[in-house]
Amino acid sequence: MLGIRVAKRIRKDSEVDHGRQTLDEQHNNLAKACKNEEQKNKAIKLKTVGKQTVLGFKIKQDPFPGEAPIPHKRLQKFRRGEKYEVPKEARPDLKEAITFSEAMSELAQKQAARYDLLLPEDAGFLEGDEDEDTNTISQDDIAAAVDITSGSKYFNLHLSQFGPYRLDYSRTGRHLLVGGKKGHVACIDWQSKDLMCEMNVMETVNDVKWLHTEAMFAVAQKKWLYIYDSKGLELHCLKKFNDVLRMQFLPYHFLLATASATGFLQYLDVSVGREVKAICTKMGRLDVMCQNPYNAVIHLGHPNGTVSLWSPNQKEPLVKMLCHRGAVRSLTVDKTGTYMVTSGLDRKLKVYDIRAFKPLHSCFLPAGASCLSLSQRGLLSAATGDIVQVYQNILGSSPVFKPYMAHRLRGQIWGLAYCPFEDVLGIGHGEGFTSMIVPGAGEPNFDALDANPYRSSKQKQEWEVKALLEKVQPELIGLDPGQLSKVDQATFEQRHKRRVEELDEIQQSIQERTEREKELKVKSKEKKTLENKSTLDRFRK
């Protein structure tokens, strides 16, 4: 009985508690509903009072509305030539095309300037202690001061048996090609120190050059020009290209330009394997050659001290400049196509502005410079005998007499080349090859769509197909590539004048023909009348 009563009492207490809970829940729901209504009313009032706040929270106005301004200096860095004014006589569709292209060019310039912030890498530099010249710092000290990866970029290849050597780096800067005067040719992945191929052609080698990929390279041998693959297999023997001394490869045109001892400048289209042009320069032996990366014009140095500029479109030089009193020994052009540096037997080093074809300044080198090379950042390396001197800010308006760095080698220097995207200078000499560390020489940020040092095999295949589709025709090579996007107003007027003259000639010929036809008709009528007359008609009245 006690247990039953207790159970009943517990049941009653639980029912009372349940009733209290339901009442409390009802009060809470009512309170929440009231709060929601009050908030709604407040929100409505706030919306009516001002649009700057929503549900009691203030929204601050942007103190700098619109896009962030771009500094003018950064915009000028990505400038793509002068803005072209649309001629008034142009057709409407031409005006629309020109305005659209100008708008797209301006948009690309602004986007490139904004995305410049995403390029965090900076170029390095070499700085000495107080009252210390940087040209007295040795390569061993630099290699010991930098990290292990950078220090491994300084090395020597002792190849005294088949030297002296010429060299060439691939466009990505990862592969090295060396060629000895006595026939030794080798391809190296110089960063990993892997040997791709090595051979001896048993013939004199004058020059070596990579083609559009690391899978093919050209070797100018004693008699003919040969093409090899990266494993050393001979692909082609071009007998039309004989006695070749120097070579330059134009990557966007797929053209291999060669200068021979017989005075011929020849162009080979490596995409189709045929000779595009053969020009007889009539200036003797051609052993000084370089290309302008900006417009793909070939620069040739001659024994009479002149430098000539050539295009495959013309049989005569585009420009002929008298640069030295003696023979031209070496020349090079910077990547922007603005400056040209030459050295001659008069032991002078001259810097020219190609836009105006005028010298900026010159300096005297006691031993003269036999080889010249410009880096991506504008550092000039000059070889004088067995010493390499590197000059900084040489492309300015004032001459520089003090070298930035210097390095002595064991043998006579025959070739200089900067490695793209690396602070490395490759030197070919009589005792082999030397890789020299030059801080601040390479471009720290590369364009992966153009030349990617870390691309895979599939990316390389895709790039090659795209480059072939976008190949520039050799007919478009000229001094000013910006003229290709402009309208030649003089030619347009001449064409219009020629058409007017042709119309006048046609109208005149038509008039002469009609007059002649009228005369023939009159004569035919007179003839018919004479034929119809008889001998008795004269007696008729």
Evaluate whether residue 321 is within a structural domain: yes
> CATH code at 353?
2.130.10.10
Evaluate whether residue 235 is within a structural domain: yes
- DSSP 3-state of 202: coil
For residues 314 and 384, state if they share a domain: yes
Which two three-digit tokens encode residue 326? 């003696």
Which ranges of 123-268 does DSSP label H, i.e. alpha helix? 139-145, 148-151
For residues 111 and 147, state if they share a domain: no
How crowded is the C-beta side of 418, counted as CA atoms within 13 Å?
26
Q: How high is the pLDDT of residue 38?
A: 53
Among 441, 476, 511, give the residue marking a domain's end: 476
For residues 251 and 149, state if they share a domain: yes
For residues 234 and 308, state if they share a domain: yes
Strand order in the sheet with 216-221: 205-210, 216-221, 224-229, 234-242
CA–CA separation, 395 and 302 (whole Å) = 23
Evaluate whether residue 53 is within a structural domain: no
Radius of gyration of the chain (CA): 40
The total of other beta-carbon atoms located within 10 Å of residue 254's CB is 20
Q: Which residues contact 153 (CB under 8 A, 6 or more apart)?
A: 191, 422, 423, 424, 435, 437
Among 476, 498, 525, give the residue marking a domain's end: 476
Q: Which residues contact 462 (CB under 8 A, 6 or more apart)?
A: none
Q: Please report, as a single letter, which amino acid is at residue 53.
A: T
- DSSP 3-state of 380: strand
Place of tokens 């970029």: 153
Phi-psi region of 437 (alpha: psi -120 to 50; beta: other; left: phi over 0): beta
Evaluate whether residue 152 is within a structural domain: yes
For residues 208 and 256, state if they share a domain: yes
For residues 183 and 103, state if they share a domain: no
Structurally, the chain folds into a number of domains equal to 2
For residues 350 and 444, state if they share a domain: yes
Evaluate whether residue 153 is within a structural domain: yes
What stretches in the chain show pLDDT beneath 70? 1-59, 485-490, 492, 533-541
472 within 8 A of 252, measured Cβ to Cβ: yes
For residues 208 and 248, state if they share a domain: yes
Whether the predicted model's global pTM rises above the 0.95 cut: no
For residues 113 and 155, state if they share a domain: no
Query: Residue 90: what are its φ and ψ, rounded to 5°?
Result: -70, 155
Which two three-digit tokens encode residue 305? 């001290």
Q: How high is the pLDDT of residue 537?
A: 64
For residues 218 and 170, state if they share a domain: yes
For residues 100 and 217, state if they share a domain: no
For residues 387 and 438, state if they share a domain: yes
Q: How high is the pLDDT of residue 429?
A: 95
Which two three-digit tokens encode residue 16? 């009372």
290 within 8 A of 248, measured Cβ to Cβ: yes
Q: How high is the pLDDT of residue 535?
A: 61
Query: Which residues span the domain enclosing 96?
Result: 90-119
* Residues 264/181/423/212 CA torsion (nearest 10 deg): 50
Q: Please report, as a single letter, which amino acid is at residue 215.
A: A
Evaluate whether residue 209 is within a structural domain: yes
203 within 8 A of 219, measured Cβ to Cβ: no
DSSP H or E segment with residue 170: none
CA–CA separation, 331 and 300 (whole Å) = 8
